[in-house]
Amino acid sequence: MNGLGGLNKSEHGVVIGMVQLQLPVVVTPDDLAKQTQKIVDMVGKARRNMGTMDLVVFPEYALHGLSMDTNPDIMCSLDGPEVAAFKAACVEHSIWGCFSIMELNPGGMPYNSGLIIDDQGEIRLYYRKMHPWVPVEPWEPGDQGIPVCDGPNGSKIALIICHDGMFPEMARECAYKGAEIMIRTAGYTAPIRDSWKFTNQSNAFCNLMATANVCMCGSDGTFDSMGEGMIVNFDGQIIAHGTSGRADEIITAELRPDLIREARLNWGVENNIYQFGHRGYVAVKGGAQDCPYTYMTDLAAGQYRLPWEDAVKTTDGTGFGFPEPTRLFGETAKEAAE
C-alpha cells in the first residue's frame, strides 16, 4: 500500500519522491553552476508534480557526475553557493530535500557527502560516505558515523550512500539508532541492478525499516546509470519501483512511520532488530545479550583480518589510475609528508 504514490496522503504518512536524475558531465565551475540550477529546477518540478510530497531525494553524483574528478575547482563546501542554492530551493517550494556533494577536504581526498535540508532551509543531517566503492572511487572514508535526524511528520530518517548499502551492518546501525526510513542514494550502473534490488529489500526486512533508494539515470556518453528508484516497506515488499529507466522521472510513495513503530513493538516472529540482541529469549530470560561474532570483536579491537587476507589481489586504486596511498586513516597529507 503506497497511497497511490502519495496522492492519497494519510494523517501519519510521509510522501517521498526519488529523482532518477539525468547523469551529467561536469568538468568546469560553469558546468557545476549549470548542474546546480538543474537540481534547483527539479526541486520545483517535484513540488509541482505532487503537492503532498514531503521529501525529494536526489541521487549520489547528482551534482558532479561519474567522472571521479577531484579537481578542487569543482569541489563543494557546506557554506558554498551550491548548498546555499539547495537551501533556498527547499524554502521556496516548502519541501525537504536530500542532496549529494563532493566535499573539499584540504587535508586529503574529497569526501562524498550527503545532506538533508528541511523546508526552512536548515541542514538537518550531514553524512560522509563510510564505504567508498573501492577500487573505483577516490573519496576519503567517512569519519563521522551514521547520523539520524527528525524528519517530516514525526519520522526518523538516516542517509547512507550507494556501496554503503551492500554492508548489512550499515542498515542495522541506522535502525539501531532509531531510523524508520533509510535513504540510499547511488550512482550505480546496470551491472549492479540485481544486487541493488535484493539489498534494498533485505536492508528493510531485516531491520523493520523502510528503505528509499535511487540511482542516477541515463548516459553521460561513457557510463549508463540505471535509475531504479525503489521504495521498500518495512516487510521487504517493494511499493514503488522505477523500471522504465526514464531520466528525470520522480518515483513516489507514501511511507507510514507509525506502522513501522507498531511493527517494532508488536511483532514477535521476525522482529530481527530486537532479537539480534536478545538471542533465544524463549529459553533464557531476556535472551543472550553477549557478542558471539568474532568479526565484530576483532574490528572493535583493530584486529580485523580475513583468513585469506594475504591472498587478496586488489587492495588499492592503482588498477583504476589512482596513485598508491601513503596516508593512514585520520592523517592529513601534511602529516604524511613529514
Residue 129 annotated in active site:
yes
DSSP 8-37: S--TT-EEEEEEEPBPPB--SHHHHHHHHH
The CA-atom distances, in angstroms, between 310 and each of 70, 167, 213, 329 are 31, 22, 35, 20
Beta-strand ranges (E) seen in the chain are 14-20, 55-57, 96-103, 111-117, 123-128, 148-150, 156-161, 181-186, 210-215, 217-219, 224-226, 230-232, 238-241, 249-255
> What does each C-alpha distance from 152 to 17, 51, 132, 228 come to in angstroms?
13, 14, 29, 24
**Contact present, 219 and 23 (Cβ < 8 Å):** yes
Question: Which listed residue (98, 149, 162, 174) is catalytic?
Answer: 162
Locate cell 557554506: which residue? 79
Task: Give the list of residues 6+ apart from residue 330 with CB closer than 8 angstroms, or none.
Answer: 143
Q: How far is CA 249 from the centre of its chain?
A: 19
Give the whole-angstrom CA distance, residue 312 versus residue 156: 39
Q: Is residue 90 flagged as an active site residue?
A: no
Specify whether the CB–CB gap between 255 and 13 falls below 8 A: yes
249 is catalytic: no
Task: Please pick, among 129, 137, 215, 228, the residue that the annotation labels catalytic.
Answer: 129
202 phi and psi angles, rounded to 5 deg: -70, -35
Active site residues: 60, 129, 162
